[in-house]
Amino acid sequence: MSTVTCDLAITLDGYAAGPAQTLERPFGEIDTNTLHAWHLEHRARHQAEHDAIVGADAYVMGRNMFAPRGDGPWPDDWIGWWGTEPPYRAPVYVLTHHPHAPITLDGGTTFHFVTDGPTLALALARETAGSDGRVAVAGGVTTVNQYLAAGEIDELRLHVVPFTAALGSGPRLFDGVGPIDWHATTGRWTPDVTHLVYRRGAAPAD
């Protein structure tokens, strides 16, 4: 069966985005550079981690990661935050309550819109990736928490920025998930971000 991974940039207190998301502020009250400057502006120092993020065979993401105003109609002519050539270069299954025709863009990315819930979206992504492939849950944090609670994420890759959002509200990583056993596999510290990789389950015996 395909492996399911998740890469998520978070603050020290577990936020991957803030409220008040708009077209101009895709991460709401948390500035984009606060969470993502490490790979948007300083990629050379984090090339391996960036390559891992965009190296999956299929992706699943929540509606708010694809577009703003996730509880309303689709914005006119919206094709995602990434322009005409998104970094995924693979099929992406977007969770939504609003039907939308697939959007095929340059570089091999096609966004498919799934209205029947996270279980079907993951099944479609697994089918696309194949038994030896990798599916990545791209975010946002509410979608990640759904798959964590369902026991579907095999490897969790956290990119922790040295910032405390102190929002006081809004979803955080692991909210409502419950206990899970993880074991750490790798970690790398830089001034920009700390990269931590965990695998589900107890650590292998020596």
How far apart (Å, rounded) are the C-alpha atoms in residues 126 and 177? 22
- Domain 3-200 top-level CATH class: alpha beta
pLDDT at 6 over 90: yes
pLDDT of residue 69: 66
pLDDT the model gives residue 43:
92
Least confident window among 67-81, 136-150, 167-181: 67-81
How far the first Cα of the chain sits from its last, in Å, is 25
Residue 75: its pLDDT value, please?
A: 79
Position 45, amino acid: R
pLDDT at 1: 82
Read off the pLDDT of each residue in 1-6 and give the average, rounded to a whole number. Answer: 94
171 contacts: CB under 8 Å, gap ≥ 6: 140, 141, 142, 145
Tell me the pLDDT tens digit for each residue of 32-73: 999 999 999 999 999 999 999 999 999 999 998 998 866 677
Asked if pLDDT for residue 158 goes beyond 80, the answer is: yes
Beta bridge partners of 112: 93
Judged by average pLDDT, the poorest of 21-30, 31-40, 160-169 is 21-30
Name residue 139's beta-bridge partners: 61
Q: What pLDDT is stored for residue 203 in this prediction?
A: 80
Cβ neighbours around 127 below 10 Å, total: 14
Q: What is the rounded CA–CA span in Å between residue 48 and residue 32?
A: 21
126 three-class SS: helix
Closest C-alpha among 114, 102, 117, 187 to residue 152: 117
Query: What was the pLDDT predicted at 70?
Result: 61
> What is the average pLDDT across 1-27?
92
Q: Domains of the chain: which residue ranges?
A: 3-200
What would you report as the CA-atom Rg of the chain, rounded to the nearest whole angstrom?
Answer: 16
Between CA 159 and CA 53 the distance in angstroms is: 11
